[in-house]
Structure 1
Amino acid sequence: MLIVLGGDIIFARVKDQLEEPTGVVDVGTGTIWAIEVGDMHPNTHVYGFDYRPNQPSFVPPNVECSLDDVEQDWLLDELCSPRRTINYVHARDMTLAVKDRPKFLGQTFKCVEFQIPTESNNTKDWKHWVSTIPCPTRVGCCGWSKTSGFEGTTEKFWKIPIGGWCANKRLKEVGNNMRLILSQGAQAIAETPLAAGQGWSPERVLELVASFREGLGDYSSEPYFTFRAIYGRKPDTHER
């Protein structure tokens, strides 16, 4: 993904603020983003929290990771000192992880980035695979962010290929990587919503996953997904 985005990991206009003592929250933090921001902005304290402890043992001194549930009330007030108020909240790959997205955006009221499901140019198989997972094709994050109180809400879109069907060398590399990621993660993505959520048997889930993986090798439909980044800012009270 960073290849397509030109290596940029922050879209919101907060980079100048991150040079001063401030706080950044990484919701559903993984193993890379929070650490990279901490290295790039040593005056910024990065608070990363996730439902599971999947972070590395060694992180920069200004990066702090803890366990928390994004669906519950956040405990950030206990972490932040008066000198380091939260100026930026980041979330990525959280579409399937959050049930109540308006509540989630209301809790952040800062800046949010999301990803959107897959599409293809002309095939019924991709529509079947994507529609089987109980997730809306349009999560409405931009509208919800405005309702939550954000100003200057901006959306950016990138078409991300799945597989090596693009003539462009850079996008071909991206597509091949994305195909590998989806193939390896297909069972994990499908298992909880289908087995636990809709009562599918393990055999039925595996059958769908096998069909999906086989379809990843068919480039005739030119499959892709639209990567969407959404960001905005909390109004300055002095402007009111």
Structure 2
Amino acid sequence: MTETASLTASVYDFLEQYGHRYHRDGKDLLPIDESEQDRLDLQHHIFKMILDGELTATKIPQDVQAVLDVGTGTGIWAIEMGEEHPGATIKGLDQAPIQPSFVPPNVQFEVDDVTKPWERRPNSLDFVHVRSMAGLIKDWSAFLADAYLHLAPGGLIEVSDFTTRFQCNDGTFKQDSYCKQWEVAFHDLAVSIFGMDFETAPKMAGWLEDAGFVDVQQVTKIVPVGPWPKDRNLKTIGLYHRTHMLDMGFENYSMFLFTSGGWDPVEIHSLLAHVRRELKDPKIHTYTTA
């Protein structure tokens, strides 16, 4: 990461494929087009519902000064953080230039590779926010060591993500389902082709402690897929989460990865049609976690 980022031609070097626009460097499975930007904004809304309207699970001091948002995406979290903390400087970092131009005066965006070694002043940050970077950061030990080095004494870090494994407590989700077929293929291809580990949640607390962080707390929330829960709040979250997955998430996470693994696009769309049909069934009570 650099203190100032210059937008080179490569930043805008896109590849149109499978009905989506991707960054040509091929480092990211996800597209960077309007459908992905809409997905990211909806995902942000779901996280806020899970967190009872808050931007973080971490209690941030009101006088926080320097905040770094790693993998800022559309910048929606950074913008809202800047509005909540007008005295802080919020810097959002992402390799895709998809952030808006008109933002609060205390919010800035950098376009750079978030996995590169940090070139900032040590002890210069108060809070580091990392969301939905599972699979994209391959060397978490190095990344978290950099974060520790650049946080001021008493600084805070929050790492959050959705898991990509379906769970069920009442037997309504079958292990021979199309959803399970997608899940297994997704993880197998991500690891075998790109070396991407999307199952970081069980290991994150240990990685943070190894990097030097103390008082590490792990919070796990159930995120239903569909409006099947009786609890009104979970029902609403489930409805939004199912829309997030069925309308954009499955396709955006699948097309580049599965075709790289030899799948034909028609074959992928056929599988996803079956997945959508299953997850629209109100008798199937499945969930992920965050």
Distance 1:174-1:90 versus aligned 2 partners, 3 A rule: same
Q: Give yes or no for contact 1:120–1:221 (8 Å, CA) kept in 2.
A: no
Q: Distance in 2 between matches of 1:210 and 1:103?
A: 39
Equivalent residue, structure 2, for 1:29: 72
Equivalent residue, structure 1, for 2:165: 118
Distance 1:74-1:172 versus aligned 2 partners, 3 A rule: same
Match of 1:129 among 182, 194, 197: 182
Q: Which amino acid is 2:134 matched to?
A: T
Q: Distance in 2 between matches of 1:102 and 1:203?
A: 39
Q: Give yes or no for contact 1:105–1:112 (8 Å, CA) kept in 2.
A: no
User: Percent of aligned positions with the same letter in both sequences?
Assistant: 29
Q: CA deviation at 1:17?
A: 4.2
Q: Distance in 2 between matches of 1:76 and 1:59?
A: 23
Matched residue SS, 1:180 = helix
Equivalent residue, structure 2, for 1:55: 99
What runs of 5+ residues in structure 1 fail to find an aligned partner?
Answer: 228-240
Give the root-mean-square deviation of aligned CA atoms.
2.0
Q: CA deviation at 1:212?
A: 1.7
Q: Distance in 1 between matches of 2:93 and 2:61?
A: 21
Aligned length: 218
Q: CA deviation at 1:131?
A: 2.0
Q: Deviations over 1:109-147 (max 9, x none)?
A: 251322122322132123332222124545411111111
Q: CA deviation at 1:168?
A: 1.8
Q: Distance in 2 between matches of 1:11 and 1:156?
A: 8
Q: Distance in 1 between matches of 2:277 and 2:217?
A: 37
What runs of 5+ residues in structure 2 fail to find an aligned partner?
Answer: 1-45, 149-155, 188-196
Q: CA deviation at 1:88?
A: 0.7
Q: Deviations over 1:37-60 (max 9, x none)?
A: 111111110110111111111111
Q: Give yes or no for contact 1:68–1:74 (8 Å, CA) kept in 2.
A: no
- Once the two structures are overlaid, the 10-residue window that deviates more, 209-218 or 158-167, is 209-218
Q: Deviations over 1:136-195 (max 9, x none)?
A: 545411111111111111001111111111112222111111111101221111123322
- The alignment's TM-score, normalised by the length of structure 1, stands at 0.83
Q: CA deviation at 1:104?
A: 2.2
Which has the bigger relative contact order, CA under 8 A and spacing at least 6?
1
Q: Give yes or no for contact 2:89–2:106 (8 Å, CA) kept in 1.
A: yes
Q: Distance in 2 between matches of 1:204 and 1:105?
A: 39
Q: Distance in 2 between matches of 1:103 and 1:192?
A: 27
Q: CA deviation at 1:8?
A: 1.3
Match of 1:149 among 199, 206, 212: 212
Q: Distance in 2 between matches of 1:138 and 1:68?
A: 23
Q: Distance in 2 between matches of 1:173 and 1:42?
A: 31
Equivalent residue, structure 2, for 1:226: 289
Matched residue SS, 1:87 = strand
Matched residue SS, 1:89 = strand
Q: Deviations over 1:21-68 (max 9, x none)?
A: x21000010331101111111111011011111111111111000101
Q: Distance in 2 between matches of 1:5 and 1:12?
A: 10
Q: Deviations over 1:213-232 (max 9, x none)?
A: 222212323111111xxxxx
